[in-house]
Amino acid sequence: MANALYPKLALTNLGKNKSTYFPYMLTSIVCIMTYYIMQSIAMNEGLMEVPGAAIAMTIFFLGTGIIAVFCIALMFYTNSFLIKRRKKELGLYCVLGMEKRHVALVLFFETLFTAIACLALGLLFGVLFSKLLFMALLYLLDFATPLAFSVSVPSLVTTVVLFACIYGATLLYNMVHIRLANPVELLHGGQKGEKEPKTSWLLTFVGLAALAGGYFIAVYFKSPLNALLLFFVAVFLVILGTFCLFTAGSIALLKALRRRRNFYYRPNNFIAVSGMMYRMKQNAAGLAAICILSTMVLVTISTTVSLYMGRNDMVTSMYPREICSNSTAAENAPAVQDAFAQSTRALGLEIKNPIAGRSRSLNVISVDGSYEDAPASVSSGEVVAVSLVPLLDYNSTFGTNFQLASGEALAYPTGNFVLSDTVTLGGQAVHIAQRLDESPYIGSGNYTAITGLILVVPDEEATSLYRAMGGTQEQFAYSAAFDVDATPEQIAALQEDLWTRLNGICGIYARSELYTEWNAMYGSFLFLGIFLGCLFLMATVLIIYYKQISEGYEDHDRFRIMQQVGMSRKEVKRAINKQILLVFFLPLLMAALHMVFAFEIICNMLLVFGMVNRLLFFGCTAVTFLIFAAAYVVVYRITARTYYRLVEA
């Protein structure tokens, strides 16, 4: 009979604490479902049939690791809230005569029942939704052929093992927590408030310095490769600065408001400021976490959406025609043109929009204002790619009739290159006669994301400037490209035939092949980005909810006393509303500020992936922020009503 008591008591406790256990269980179910879906997709053998599958599979395996770490952190956070709310109840068991080992048994059965229910529902929903989401992924990858789909037993086992370990670790944490506390501490643990913290000017200074450092890195470093390397440094500094400023800076602000007598000694302001001051350390950490998670939602979704939406423009900028070729020697031009004509004729295809031209390219660095050949020891982030196109080739290819004097050039800057009126190449000054709107370089791999400069110069100066910068290649490079109306199968056959005829003297690239690869890569990025964005959003909502619940319980007695000394319910509600509004939207505003400063470094990072359309990224970021802000307001209204009910109960 005694053994049957603990399971029954555990079930009774779960029912009585449903207001706090329900969000925890819902979070667990969503985490289990999300992890299983990502794991099952990553382990789906049918996905290997998708072109570009190697990239997609790598992204999904990385995604499962990220989701696992995030689920562990999120479930430990929610468990810590639960054990704090349960301290009074567990302490009462000890006072009534139960030993701590009996309390541990109750916690064991509660965790067991919760784990079984959450794993069953999470895996059930995971299996049901994985098929739908798998088809959505194939749509994003632009792969129309249906693939075999089945329930992944290895994914089920992996998910059960992972979350069983998480539940076991939280149970161990709870047992140790109960073991080390005495019954009196447990009885009053849920009501234990924070002492009024002292203003830490050192922590405030550290927060300001860290935030300023993160913002400086985000704004100052323009090189795409440097931006990619320094992004995580900037992220760390911004996170550190955010937590320090919310913890120390908010206290300083509240104390400054308290010193303003005209503001502080009014009923509503007095209650709002003093109530926040009472437990500011706890609030500050929660608000900082909400701010960071909100920023993560905005960054994750806006970047992946913009990459996916801009993928076609990126491919087009790199490959100007359907079939492109690059050769390191211009003497191969007749052979390339003959192979183009013979291959298309053999396959019954017609060449359209042909373009061809010579160029000289070199990676250089700036030495005393002059661009010189870059030694191997120089960091790639400092290198500028300079390409020189003869004027004759440019006019012939694009049907123009430009005339240039000696020392003049037409210019097309790429990446973050800052173009001035005069550029010095190898000690020779070149005046920029006109800035071009389109790239004059026609070769495949026209990677406009790289910081560089493409110049159209008089024919004889294409060689002299190249030599002056330190170039050593004897011949011009030669590029040729054309469009063709053909099926994917015909394009693949054409590419293979050209490769055979040219016998490796130049590279042959098909734009549609790159489309397929980039669909796989950026479709996978978008799928993972939406997954992670939803997880971050769920964590944000959960922290907000628990913050409101926790404060509602703590404020109940205090506001009841206020009503007893003469405040009306209307005045109490007004005071509550001001207190919530004073801090609730601060994380959202801070997240918006983070995004403003992060815009430049994210744009530079996207350049590494080939994303040059800043306007598209700005639009995706703005729309993402508006949708997130709307969801934030809805969450605020729902949780605020819960808070009011607890305070006024």
Domain termination site, one of 513, 541, 574: 513
Share of the chain above pLDDT 70, in %: 76
What is the largest distance, in Å, between two alpha-carbon atoms of the chain?
102
**Does 1 score more than 50 pLDDT?**
no
Contact 481, 435 (CB under 8 A): no
* Residue 492 domain flag: yes
Both 410 and 332 in a single domain?
yes
Both 115 and 169 in a single domain?
yes
Burial annotation 461-484 (CB, 10 A radius, 16+ → b, else e): bbbbbbebbebeeeebbbbbbbbb
Both 50 and 101 in a single domain?
yes
* Residue 588 domain flag: yes
Give the least confident one: 334-348, 426-440, 595-609. 595-609
Both 349 and 255 in a single domain?
no
Averaging pLDDT over each range in 144-148, 317-321, 435-439, 465-469, which range is the top one? 465-469
**Does 411 score more than 50 pLDDT?**
yes
Q: H/E element holding 414?
A: strand 408-414
Pair type for strands 370-373 and 352-367: antiparallel
Side-chain-side CA neighbours of residue 216 (13 Å)? 8
Angle 541-545-548 from CA coordinates, rounded to 5°: 140
Q: Of 57, 22, 25, 12, which is closest to residue 163 (Cα–Cα)?
A: 25
How far apart are the C-alpha atoms of 463 and 473, rounded to whole Å? 10
Both 503 and 572 in a single domain?
no
- Tens digits of per-residue pLDDT, 242-261? 888 887 777 777 777 777 77
* Residue 147 domain flag: yes
Both 330 and 306 in a single domain?
no
How far apart are the C-alpha atoms of 294 and 627, rounded to whole Å? 12
Both 173 and 204 in a single domain?
no
Both 421 and 502 in a single domain?
yes
Structure tokens at 289: 């976490």
In three-state secondary structure terms, 420 is: coil
Residues of the domain holding 49: 1-191
* Residue 156 domain flag: yes
How many Cβ atoms are within 10 Å of 627's Cβ, its own excluded?
A: 13
- Tens digits of per-residue pLDDT, 452-479? 888 999 988 888 998 988 888 888 888 8
* Residue 70 domain flag: yes
How far apart are the C-alpha atoms of 633 and 585, rounded to whole Å? 9
Contact 647, 577 (CB under 8 A): no
How far apart are the C-alpha atoms of 256 and 497, rounded to whole Å? 77
Both 6 and 56 in a single domain?
yes
In three-state secondary structure terms, 421 is: coil
- Tens digits of per-residue pLDDT, 306-328? 988 888 877 877 788 888 888 88
How far apart are the C-alpha atoms of 227 and 229, rounded to whole Å? 5
pTM (2 d.p.): 0.72
Structure tokens at 530: 């939406």
Contacts (Cβ under 8 Å, ≥6 apart) of 334: none
- The tally of domains found in the chain comes to 3
Both 157 and 30 in a single domain?
yes
Backbone CA torsion sign across 446, 452, 458, 462: negative
In three-state secondary structure terms, 425 is: strand
The average confidence (pLDDT) of the chain is 79
* Residue 342 domain flag: yes
In three-state secondary structure terms, 315 is: helix
In three-state secondary structure terms, 540 is: helix
Share of the chain above pLDDT 90, in %: 10
* Residue 316 domain flag: no
Both 403 and 483 in a single domain?
yes
Which DSSP string corresponds to 454-496? EEEE-HHHHHHHHHHTT---SS-EEEEEEE----HHHHHHHHH
pLDDT at residue 119, as a whole number: 93
Domain termination site, one of 489, 513, 537: 513
Domain termination site, one of 468, 494, 513: 513
Backbone CA torsion sign across 554, 559, 564, 565: positive
Which amino acid is located at 397 in the chain? T
Q: H/E element holding 530?
A: helix 511-564
* Residue 646 domain flag: yes
Q: Of 343, 335, 340, 362, which is closest to residue 353 (Cα–Cα)?
A: 340
Contact 482, 356 (CB under 8 A): no
How many Cβ atoms are within 10 Å of 489's Cβ, its own excluded?
A: 8
Residues in the chain: 649
Between the CA of residue 431 and those of 383, 409, 410, 439, what are the distances in Å?
Answer: 22, 6, 9, 18
Structure tokens at 58: 């790598």
How many Cβ atoms are within 10 Å of 97's Cβ, its own excluded?
A: 7
How many Cβ atoms are within 10 Å of 130's Cβ, its own excluded?
A: 23
Both 180 and 259 in a single domain?
no
